[in-house]
Amino acid sequence: MLTDVWPFVEEQRHHGRDVVLARLVGRDGPGSRPLGATMAVTRNGSWRGSLSGGCVEGIVLRAATDVLEGREPHLMTVVVGDDLMPWEEAPACGGELQVLLTPAPGGRAYDAITQALHANEPLAVRVGLTAPFGWDTAPEASRLTAPGGFVEQLPTRPRLLLVGATDLAAELAALAGPLRFEVVVIDPRQAFVDSGALPAGTRTVLGWPDRWLAENPPRPDDAVVVLTHDPRIDDRGIRAALAGGAGYVAALGSRATHAQRMRRLGHLPGIGRLCGPAGLDLGGQSPAETALSILAEVVAARHGRAGGPLRTGDLPIRPPRGPVRVPSQN
């Protein structure tokens, strides 16, 4: 997706380097990546992103390099397994992929995409599928109605709202960045907020969590995790989170601590939504392992999964992402 590679595009543009985008705009069979999957390639061989998880990237890299060296932008058909020897078995996700190779947009389109991603605002992006392969943007995909194009609705980032500026909050914030969460850490304790433990760029709020959550109601794609082990702080955060619309609400602590918590708060409306102890059972002990456990449960909850081993499940490994891209009709 454009969101996966755009930081790389920005970095390369900052250094004056040309970037070609290879985008998956059509497919006649199953695949590991959704339509809209994108690779960004530069002349010096640097690249980011993927279209298939590894099956066709070598072919696409060569084609993108050709465009960087002067070949016209074009829509190409890539057959999975085309670069294999006759006796080598092709991947199960075979078929034909339609890949659009064009320079990364400049001008207004570049500015609009960059602004939307930095401000966490929705934006739809259209690229034509025939020459001159022009780019257009609008707040919503429904406003990009020109035929013969591919439209992707860039999603806004969900928020990870952490109550407590602890060492675990720092680990959660570090891991949540690549998952595209906007992290907010809320703590009424000045010494914790000023500790310097949180990664650079993490938004911190000095204040009581119930007040901040009341003024900034959680959305269904947001997650709230309370971390302080101090009931005076945690209970306020839990009450406010359950009263709002957060899709995931969890509290750190042992089973005994959670049992005490439930004795205090068991009467609250929506208490059945509270996940405690927070996280999946990975057996880890360090703050980083605990953070991984919690974020794994957050991701599973967002996709309606229980978080068990893939080998024992029967649901699709990669379900459809939902309406985040809309191919235009010819």
Q: Is the pLDDT of residue 244 over 90?
A: no
pLDDT for 323 equals 37
Q: Is the pLDDT of residue 57 over 60?
A: yes
123 and 245 co-located in one domain: no
Task: State the alpha helices, DSSP H only, in the chain.
Answer: 2-14, 57-68, 107-119, 167-176, 190-193, 209-215, 231-243, 255-265, 287-302
Cα pseudo-dihedral 156, 157, 160, 166, rounded to 10: -140
Which tens digits make up the pLDDT trace of 62-92? 999 999 999 999 999 987 655 544 444 555 5
pLDDT for 276 equals 87
Q: How many Cβ atoms sit within 10 Å of the Cβ of residue 143?
A: 12
150 and 173 co-located in one domain: no
pLDDT for 325 equals 39
Residue 305 and residue 290: Cα distance in Å, rounded?
19
| pLDDT level of residue 329 (50, 70, 90 thresholds) | very low
Q: Is residue 328 part of a domain?
A: no
Which tens digits make up the pLDDT trace of 161-212? 999 999 999 999 999 988 889 999 999 999 999 998 999 889 999 999 999 9
pLDDT for 13 equals 92
35 and 135 co-located in one domain: yes
Whose tokens are 């990364």? That residue is: 104
| pLDDT level of residue 218 (50, 70, 90 thresholds) | very high
Q: Is the pLDDT of residue 125 over 50?
A: yes
How many percent of the chain have pLDDT more than 70? 88
* Domain of residue 165, residue span: 159-310
pLDDT, average across residues 284-296: 93
Q: Is residue 318 part of a domain?
A: no
Task: Extract the tokens encoding 321.
Answer: 């992402």
pLDDT, average across residues 213-225: 93
Bond into 277 cis (ω within 30): yes
64 and 201 co-located in one domain: no
Residue 269 gets the label, from left (phi > 0), alpha (psi -120 to 50) or beta, of: beta
235 and 207 co-located in one domain: yes
| pLDDT level of residue 215 (50, 70, 90 thresholds) | very high
Q: Is the pLDDT of residue 139 over 50?
A: yes
pLDDT for 141 equals 84
pLDDT for 53 equals 67
pLDDT, average across residues 262-286: 91
Q: Is residue 141 part of a domain?
A: yes
Residue 89 and residue 105: Cα distance in Å, rounded?
38
Residue 176 and residue 167: Cα distance in Å, rounded?
14
Q: In what order do the strands lie in the sheet with 123-128?
A: 135-138, 123-128, 149-154, 325-327
16 and 143 co-located in one domain: yes
Q: Is the pLDDT of residue 262 over 50?
A: yes
Q: Is residue 118 part of a domain?
A: yes
Return the closest-CA partner of residue 285 out of 245, 263, 254: 254
pLDDT, average across residues 143-148: 83
Number of domains, the chain: 2
Output the average pLDDT for the chain.
87
For the chain, the 3-state helix, strand and coil shares in percent, each to the nearest 5, are 35, 25, 45
105/320: higher pLDDT: 105
112 and 176 co-located in one domain: no
Which tens digits make up the pLDDT trace of 299-325? 999 888 888 877 777 676 665 554 333
| Residue 201 DSSP symbol | T
